[in-house]
Chains A and B, each alone.
Chain A
Amino acid sequence: MNKASSLAIAVALALGTMPALAQKTASQGIDEYRAMLQDGNPAELFEAKGEDLWKKARGPKNVSLEKCDLGKGPGVVKGAFVALPKYFADTQRMQDLESRLVTCMETLQGFNAAEISKTAFGRGEMANVTALATWIAAESKGQRFNLSQEHAQEKTFYEVGKRLFFQRGGPHDFSCASCHGEEGKRIRLQDLPILTKNPGDGIGFAAWPAYRVSNGQMWSMQLRLNDCYRQQRFPYPGFGSDATIALSTYLGVNAKGAASIAPAIKR
Chain B
Amino acid sequence: MADPMRIRAQASGDKATVRVLMSHEMESGQRKDASGKTVPAWFIQEVTAKLNGKDVFSAEWGPAVSKNPFLQFNVKGAKAGDKIAVTWKDNKGDTRTDEATVS
Interface residues of B in 12-30 (CB under 8 A from A): 19, 21-23, 25-26
Given contacts A216-B66, A216-B67, A216-B68, contact A40 B21 (CB under 8 A): yes
Is the C-beta of A90 less than 8 angstroms from some C-beta in chain B? no
Is the C-beta of B70 less than 8 angstroms from some C-beta in chain A? yes
Is the C-beta of A44 less than 8 angstroms from some C-beta in chain B? yes
- Bound together, the chains give a CA A216 to CA B31 distance in angstroms of 14
Counting chain B residues whose Cβ lies within 8 A of the other chain, the interface size class is: 10 to 19
Residue on B with the closest CB to A41? B21
Given contacts A39-B19, A42-B21, contact A48 B68 (CB under 8 A): no
Residue on A with the closest CB to B22? A45
Is the C-beta of B3 less than 8 angstroms from some C-beta in chain A? yes
Do residues A48 and B4 form an inter-chain contact, with CB atoms below 8 A?
yes
Do residues B68 and A45 form an inter-chain contact, with CB atoms below 8 A?
yes
Q: List, in ascending order, chain A residues with CB within 8 A of B22's CB.
A: 45
- The smallest C-beta distance from A209 to any residue of chain B, in angstroms, reads 15
Is the C-beta of B6 less than 8 angstroms from some C-beta in chain A? yes
Do residues A45 and B67 form an inter-chain contact, with CB atoms below 8 A?
no
A interface footprint on B37-75 (CB within 8 Å = 1, 0 otherwise) = 000000000000000000000000000001110101000
Give the size of the chain A interface in residues (CB under 8 angstroms). Answer: 11
Q: List, in ascending order, chain B residues with CB within 8 A of A213's CB.
A: 66
Is the C-beta of A162 less than 8 angstroms from some C-beta in chain B? no
- Bound together, the chains give a CA A39 to CA B23 distance in angstroms of 16
Q: List, in ascending order, chain A residues with CB within 8 A of B67's CB.
A: 216
- Bound together, the chains give a CA A48 to CA B21 distance in angstroms of 11
Is the C-beta of A185 less than 8 angstroms from some C-beta in chain B? no
Is the C-beta of A49 less than 8 angstroms from some C-beta in chain B? yes
Interface residues of A in 175-220 (CB under 8 A from B): 211, 213, 216
Candidate in A40, A41, A48, A216 with the most chain B CB atoms within 10 angstroms = A40
Q: List, in ascending order, chain B residues with CB within 8 A of A216's CB.
A: 25-26, 66-68
Do residues A44 and B21 form an inter-chain contact, with CB atoms below 8 A?
yes
Q: List, in ascending order, chain A residues with CB within 8 A of B25's CB.
A: 216
- Bound together, the chains give a CA A204 to CA B68 distance in angstroms of 24
- Bound together, the chains give a CA A107 to CA B3 distance in angstroms of 27
Q: List, in ascending order, chain A residues with CB within 8 A of B26's CB.
A: 216
Q: Which of B3, B4, B23, B70 contacts A40 (CB 8 A)?
A: B70
> Can you list 27 contacts pairing A with B, beta carbon distance less than 8 Å?
A39-B19, A40-B19, A40-B21, A40-B70, A40-B72, A41-B21, A42-B21, A42-B23, A42-B68, A42-B70, A44-B6, A44-B21, A45-B3, A45-B4, A45-B6, A45-B23, A45-B68, A48-B3, A48-B6, A49-B3, A49-B4, A211-B68, A213-B66, A216-B26, A216-B66, A216-B67, A216-B68
Q: Interface residues, chain A, CB within 8 Å of chain B? A: 39-42, 44-45, 48-49, 211, 213, 216
Q: Interface residues, chain B, CB within 8 Å of chain A? A: 3-6, 19, 21-23, 25-26, 66-68, 70, 72
The 6 closest A-B pairs by CB, nearest first: A216-B67, A42-B68, A40-B70, A44-B6, A45-B23, A42-B21
A sample of 6 more A-B contacts (CB under 8 A), given A216-B66, A216-B67, is A40-B21, A40-B72, A44-B6, A45-B4, A49-B3, A216-B25
